[in-house]
Structure 1
């Protein structure tokens, strides 16, 4: 290999090369339908669907629509940029402070409206660390901050949990952000949903938009709108966000794409300053509208909330000359006329004891008790008292239009903006392993590969079931199937550790020559260059809600050095290879497909791992099992022999030593991997019972077997030659066709 094409360390990459994004025509049709629909549906699609090419295309079009309006402001260094952001913060601070000091009802309304943006802050970092970006220095800096924002493996101390607690302390109770009714409960206006779509879109394409991501990251945390509004201390101080910004700008000075990267970064900062200012302005509009509501208008708002549920069961109730169901039927009932009629109805007439029928009906024992919450009941009481005191009606209701003008601008941009780097064509049906690997590593550019990647993952999992009956004979693994209990799992893991990994170990008495050691290391290298990738999507917003998620995300963070570039496993393997004079391009690069140092026949293992990683929801169980296999593989005989061979020839041993240490069986990744499975299946048992546990377990063990399948070559060959055993009982079937 020509050293001039080698991938240099430290990696000061400031952006990936611009390239087309490939999608199928079907994805284009789906994406257009979503973008022409309701903003709330756009938000939900970007948040909930993390596995389809349609979501990638929606994200690309959202980014194009927003970024097309971005006008970069002059700024040559981090200090100048920080000064611009401080100026915007000073301009916004009085308005935000006033919103926080508003009356209880108004503040509640404002906090709910802001919640979708407050609770997704930092989501753009979810997959910035991936096979296509590691071991970039800047990506590692960002990942270190991401790990902190995620609570360093303890979600309860992360940013999302902190902000939810702050909302609760201020009296705002909302479901999880991924819940179907989250936006409804938040009362999200169209502008809020559209603004939220931008950072969510960025979270889907972070490798392709690294300059924009850094700009957004700095601008959001430097402005600190949500901390101002919630009265909380920042989890990520502005000075630390600025340090990453400054380092990135320094790298652009020596980058061939530096001027364009700086322009993109500055444009993203300008866009975020505009968006945050725009949203604070909308919150002010909302507060002013609510503060201007008369009691009649507030009653109308309550009626509007309950009208869809009120008509049919009140058909016998009449108000004036009409049935209640006639008043409230239809999509847009005449609320002013209804409130006027209710004011004059017998339900609001004051009795001799000072009460009225309506207020009695909503109290305990009344026919409408429990329909209205405490705040709504208080509004009705104040309204009835005002009517009794003779206050005249004010039925000129002003509609809530907060943010609608800007929302229409962004909605129109989403409908009409067509990025010129999108290519629509069906995915190639026949690709060699090198090209297939290239595309799944660069999945942001090739989302149309996802269907084939899913098929490839399922095929590998199905083939691996061969070891359910023949796996006990593995040299380093035991994938033979067994019924799950926590004790049975731990007994199997212990037995693999002692019987297959530790007890057989004897120091080598003969060390292979240099060329053989180099060749053997080259057979491992491809898998090492994507170390940790099987778990890189586990901590994403909207799906990180189980203890097992946090535990697995913490393992991935360890693989990436928790942001410390010197401890990053991808950095370590590059040092090992360099000590052998194996100088490779980055695996994302086109040149990597043509390198001759790594054998063709071993791509299947790495392809299977990356394919699994692309489906963190539908193949979650399998990822847990695969994780157990690969983390145990770092222990015992094989690893110790490799260290012995590398040392004899004075090669770098840092990668092997790191795994031998961090994967330790006492408290390291190997033990944690079993604990993750137990934690997950404990949740399944509590929610769905023992039968569901065994179904979920079978899929987990498929994942473990799929790792063993690529390790135990001789065992697999022998098993294929044996008679096919009878199938497992039907209740263990996973309905996956075996693909050979």
Structure 2
């Protein structure tokens, strides 16, 4: 079923083969992925014409609803069936940011678009969250849930999950489909607000949340004032990189328009069904016929067939059953209130109580009331256009089919290179999990061995008091060490160089929190905002990796792009300088598997230099005439009052409060230990056994290297960095 594919593709750790994604794409749109698509400008002209045409179609629908006093019915139908697509607003961009493009200006602009879409800086502030508010205000609170829960909402037709599932799937492979995603984005922002939502806003909407559903308008969360202009510019930058990228952008745009047409036609049909009592009743019977056919073998209807036999036929043709049901004594045509089918059989005291939901009973009642007209118009709405094709769901295991096993790194340098991208193919994921577990094993042995560890127990009062104590400690250590020996210029330069593999991927442990669901959660939103800060809030001039490169250039050091093989194999780096960065790169791709550990490690990292080592580094850099901008910046934004350290502590407290409410004390204690181990993992104490030291040299098992091309990192930079 499409809803199951949607649920699975909402998982930030899923790996999807390119063939699987192309299979999904082929089912939801009729665009031939192997043909030459139309020019982008032609597609965007078609987008404009289509939007105008559909606005008219929805105006006709709302006019009909007004005339038949069914406006609320129409609103509920449109909100319910459009919910899955609403959950993807902007989410097709969620995988576009990766360590290897941290300094790429175009990818920074893409990240800015995504940050605007999710309302960076606040929980539950995304465009989809605005949709949830509107749904709740309209009497549909069951739609105000996260994407994985929305899949369980059975009144949403399965085929309405097809396009959203595919958009989530494409977002998981932005290493392969980045230009195509740029084409998708520019189409969706050219549409702006979907015509179905424009119709609802025009008929009943005064809430401010409506504006947030317009992808062409900024949410106000970032400095972006015109998202459509940014999207057009991004698409143009991709197209300018070569013919292959141009074709992918234009293919993405053509595919998105065709997919949107199909999705919208299905939505219109669902809306028309909701406004037509007989069609709504037919749909209800068709959906419930399978379970009902199991019973009623002994209940014979007026035509001679048993109710079970009629229900069996109703799976494909509910007409005969409805005709016979309307002729029974249980139905008083034109008067549902006096019909025993409603107030007796399925009522509170009837033998079929709770078999039908309140919404189902409403459908049944409206159908009975409509029977007052002896010759009702069977289809007052125009026939569906030919494009209204229900996408057939690919085989259940299509998401698991892949020939892309991935690379198991042979050494620490290859690991650093391979992990620069966003995706973890199966074999690479196995390596990453092993690496993290071994690293955390060392961290666990560090628990309680220093006075910097997190408290043994988490207290409901939170971590802020402990955080202030640690800040005081850092300050005391700085004052005590001020008179210490000044390292040589060569030592300062060498240490700055050896930190480059770590610092140039600053924030990489949080890249999993660019997932739309995590980035807007109560505990995840400050982690995304931290990530957003590390990359300069979309501005290359304050991008932290770029600032660090500026310091290196002052020292006469020029390095290759971080995502290149040349960088990972630069012999100026000692191999031990790559071990912790590889841990970060692994951790950032596994946000669900190692969520507590990431929370702990994030606090350790953000707190590590505040008040102490950043000030010490500043003294050394200033002494030799180097810029102190990098350390000055971090000593302020990582502060323990309103900065990254405070956010990190608050994220942990929010998570632990939730865990404590939903778990046993033993389970909550186990979760807290994982957070503590994550905190220690920033800098585990040296291993105490020879076996550990050997294993820690490179945390993997022997293997036979696979051959691969010169660039495993397909997530290539687009702009000028």
Q: TM-score range by the shorter chain?
A: 0.7 to 0.9
The CA deviation at 1:589 is 1.1
The CA deviation at 1:243 is 2.9
Q: Which of the residues 438, 443, 459 maps onto 1:459? A: 438
Distance in 2 between the 1:577 and 1:324 partners?
A: 80
- TM-score, normalised on structure 1? 0.78
Distance in 2 between the 1:354 and 1:220 partners?
A: 46
Distance in 2 between the 1:270 and 1:182 partners?
A: 27
* CA displacement 1:451-508 (0-9 Å, x = unmatched): 1101111111112111114233xxxxx2376122245844543443322454443435
Aligned to 2:33: 68
The CA deviation at 1:298 is 3.6
Aligned to 2:560: 585
Range with bigger deviation, 599-608 or 321-330? 321-330
How many residue pairs get aligned? The number is 662
Distance in 1 between the 2:84 and 2:192 partners?
A: 15
The CA deviation at 1:279 is 2.5
The CA deviation at 1:82 is 6.1
Distance in 2 between the 1:100 and 1:390 partners?
A: 23
Distance in 2 between the 1:511 and 1:352 partners?
A: 93
The CA deviation at 1:56 is 7.1
Range with bigger deviation, 650-659 or 313-322? 313-322
Residues 1:666 and 2:625 are matched in the alignment? no
* CA displacement 1:541-564 (0-9 Å, x = unmatched): 344564111122222222122222
Distance in 1 between the 2:631 and 2:60 partners?
A: 57
Aligned to 2:120: 152
Q: How do 1:482-631 and structure 2 match up within 5 A?
A: 482-487=456-461, 489-500=463-474, 502-505=476-479, 506-508=481-483, 510-544=485-519, 546-631=521-606
Aligned to 2:148: 179
Distance in 2 between the 1:168 and 1:308 partners?
A: 31
Distance in 2 between the 1:676 and 1:218 partners?
A: 34
The CA deviation at 1:73 is 3.2
Residues 1:42 and 2:9 are matched in the alignment? no
Aligned to 2:211: 233
Residues 1:94 and 2:59 are matched in the alignment? no
Range with bigger deviation, 489-498 or 195-204? 489-498
The CA deviation at 1:357 is 2.7
The CA deviation at 1:444 is 3.2
Range with bigger deviation, 195-204 or 316-325? 316-325
Which runs of 5 or more structure 2 residues have no equivalent in the other structure?
66-70, 202-209, 218-224, 693-698, 702-721
Q: How do 1:688-727 and structure 2 match up within 5 A?
A: 688-709=663-684, 715-716=685-686
Distance in 1 between the 2:337 and 2:642 partners?
A: 70
Partner of 1:459, secondary structure, is: helix
**Equivalent residues of 1:304, 1:335 under 8 A apart:** yes
* CA displacement 1:493-546 (0-9 Å, x = unmatched): 344332245444343564323221110112222111111111112141344564
Q: Which of the residues 272, 275, 287 maps onto 2:256? A: 272
Q: Which of the residues 214, 238, 243 maps onto 2:229? A: 243
Q: 1:356 to 1:449 in 2, by over 3 A?
A: closer
Aligned to 2:714: none
The CA deviation at 1:193 is 3.0
The alignment yields a C-alpha RMSD, in angstroms, of 4.1
The CA deviation at 1:566 is 1.9
Residues 1:299 and 2:267 are matched in the alignment? no
**Equivalent residues of 2:266, 2:390 under 8 A apart:** no
Q: Which of the residues 259, 266, 290 maps onto 1:282? A: 266
Partner of 1:548, secondary structure, is: coil
Q: 1:237 to 1:696 in 2, by over 3 A?
A: same
Aligned to 2:87: 119
Q: 1:651 to 1:87 in 2, by over 3 A?
A: farther
Range with bigger deviation, 234-243 or 517-526? 234-243
Aligned to 1:728: none
**Equivalent residues of 1:576, 1:651 under 8 A apart:** yes
Which runs of 5 or more structure 1 residues have no equivalent in the other structure?
1-37, 473-477, 710-714, 724-736
Residues 1:134 and 2:106 are matched in the alignment? no
Distance in 2 between the 1:194 and 1:683 partners?
A: 33
**Equivalent residues of 1:534, 1:623 under 8 A apart:** yes
**Equivalent residues of 2:332, 2:339 under 8 A apart:** yes
Q: 1:81 to 1:322 in 2, by over 3 A?
A: closer
**Equivalent residues of 1:282, 1:403 under 8 A apart:** no
